[in-house]
Amino acid sequence: MARIAVIGANGTIGSAIVAEAAARGHEVTAVVRDPDRYRGEAASVERGDVLDPADVARVAAGRDVLVSAVGGGDGPGHLALIEPAARSLVEGLRSLDQRGDGAPRLIAVGGAGSLETAPGVRVWDIPGLPEPILQIMHAHGEALAYYRTVTDIRWTVLSPAAEIGPGERTGHYRTGLEQLLTDTAGRSFISVPDYAVALVDEIEQPEHIGERFTCCAL
């Protein structure tokens, strides 16, 4: 059993991660802006601000894993949140190490925009993408670029397929690193429940510390 804190536990992806981890018997704490509005399946709930490194350190203390599932809503919201949140998360975890308390592992929900569709070509290079979508993609890309400069914190970023949305929990998926994955029909899709399965599998069997990986339906 791992002690897991999930920041952004009220969101679609965050709540799925909480549910999957709790169903497997992990001790899960939901970290949200307004605990009074939380109706999920976490064992405990705490108020937390992902942009406050001291708050990050507080909710991360004593945990084995800190999951960041924060989202900024629209494009400008993502630009204002995702990369700054990455810096705040790392700073907060570093402060635990400096105090001698030990930092938990960090797993962040990423984006698909920076995945390659061909050598040197990324999803965000597809012509005609709306500007708000590009902003969301580049916000996650900037956060990933920052994480890749970090060597003293155990981090992982999990990028979904090009499409992530409602669907069944099959418990089956493919993983890769830098290339966009597709299923047997040529579609790049992962259901939210199966994305949560992939993330909790990574918690239980770490294979991607210090790197980004991606998942897709079979």
Confidence at residue 211, expressed as pLDDT on a 0 to 100 scale: 98
| Gap between the terminal Cα atoms of the chain | 28
DSSP 104: P
In the numeric block, the tokens 């929990």 are attached to: 169
Residue at 142: amino acid letter: E
DSSP 130-191: -HHHHHHHHHHHHHHHHHTT--SS-EEEEE--SEEES----S--EEESSBPP--TTS--EEE
User: For residue 73, what pLDDT is reported?
Assistant: 87
pLDDT tens digit at each of 218 positions of the chain: 999 999 999 999 999 999 999 999 999 999 999 999 898 888 899 999 999 999 999 999 999 999 999 998 899 999 999 999 999 999 999 999 777 668 999 999 999 999 999 999 999 999 999 999 999 999 999 999 999 999 999 999 999 999 999 999 999 999 999 999 998 889 999 999 999 999 999 999 999 999 999 999 99
pLDDT at 100: 62
d(C-alpha 42, C-alpha 31), whole Å = 9
Find where tokens 């308390």 sit: 101
Identify the pLDDT of residue 43.
87
Are the C-beta atoms of 195 and 174 separated by less than 8 Å?
no
Sign of the alpha-carbon dihedral angle for 75, 160, 9, 40: positive
CA 38 – CA 125 distance, rounded (Å): 38
